[in-house]
């Protein structure tokens, strides 16, 4: 008659380690999340936007064209000012988390892009220093679940105070 042997302690430890390793590999925390991609042409929706307390939007015709890849995000903003003039400006941010510095005629501009922990919200920070005063803007970009609505919540801080603006855009 053959007697069954109890597993050795070393075998139990090996199996326990393998089980823990498998659980860690399969856990949601270990899966790298893909950052939200904001690329596309976005048209301003004044009716859903909020210019902040005591303010108003001076434009209706605003388009943001966003080009994003794993290394950077480029945002071209084109606005038609009442009276017919069209003005465009492009901002580019590195998505590696490092600060970039630009020298302009008006002063020094520091730019930083930072992802939320779940990679769904991208906050773009611009700090402009003029005459030793900082003018800071933090704009948080977030897409709706279906990817058709872009909401940008911007907080602006300067020596005179702070304000918050919420702009909503529809994908074109």
Rounded to whole angstroms, how far apart are CA atoms 164 and 149?
19
Write the pLDDT tens digit of every residue in 34-88: 999 999 999 999 999 999 887 888 887 999 999 999 999 999 999 988 788 899 9
Band (123; pLDDT cuts 50, 70, 90): very high
Task: Flag whether pLDDT at 1 surpasses 90.
Answer: no
Rounded to whole angstroms, how far apart are CA atoms 22 and 71?
32
By C-alpha distance, which of 164, 159, 97 is closest to 128?
159
Domains assigned to the chain = 40-171 (2.40.128.20)
Question: For the chain, how many helices (H) and strands (E)?
Answer: 1, 10
Q: What is the pLDDT of residue 19?
A: 39
Q: What is the pLDDT of residue 4?
A: 53
Q: What is the pLDDT of residue 95?
A: 96
Neighbour tally for 152: CB within 10 Å: 20
- Give the CA distances from residue 85 to residues 42, 80, 91, 150, in Å, rounded to whole numbers and listed in that order: 20, 6, 20, 25
Q: What percent of the chain has pLDDT over 70?
A: 81
Beta partners for residue 109, in sequence order: 102, 128
Phi-psi region of 28 (alpha: psi -120 to 50; beta: other; left: phi over 0): alpha
Write the pLDDT tens digit of every residue in 90-120: 999 999 989 999 988 888 899 999 999 999 9
Q: What is the pLDDT of residue 29?
A: 45
Burial bucket for residue 124 (CB in 10 Å: 0-12, 13-18, 19+): buried
């Amino acid at each position: 008659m053959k007697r069954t042997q109890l597993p050795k302690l070393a075998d139990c430890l090996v199996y326990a380690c393998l089980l823990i390793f498998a659980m860690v590999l399969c856990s949601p925390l270990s899966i790298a999340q893909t950052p939200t991609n904001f690329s596309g042409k976005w048209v301003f929706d004044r009716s859903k936007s909020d210019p902040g307390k005591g303010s108003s939007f001076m434009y209706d015709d605003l388009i943001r064209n966003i080009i994003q890849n794993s290394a950077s995000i480029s945002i071209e903003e084109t606005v038609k000012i009442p009276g017919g003039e069209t003005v465009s400006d492009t901002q580019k941010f590195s998505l590696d988390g490092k600060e970039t510095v630009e020298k302009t005629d008006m002063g020094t501009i520091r730019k930083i892009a930072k992802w939320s922990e779940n990679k769904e919200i991208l906050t773009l920070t611009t700090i402009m220093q003029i005459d030793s005063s900082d003018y800071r803007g933090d704009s948080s970009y977030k897409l709706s679940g279906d990817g058709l609505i872009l909401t940008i919540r911007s907080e602006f801080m300067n020596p005179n105070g702070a304000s918050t603006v919420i702009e909503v855009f529809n994908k074109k």
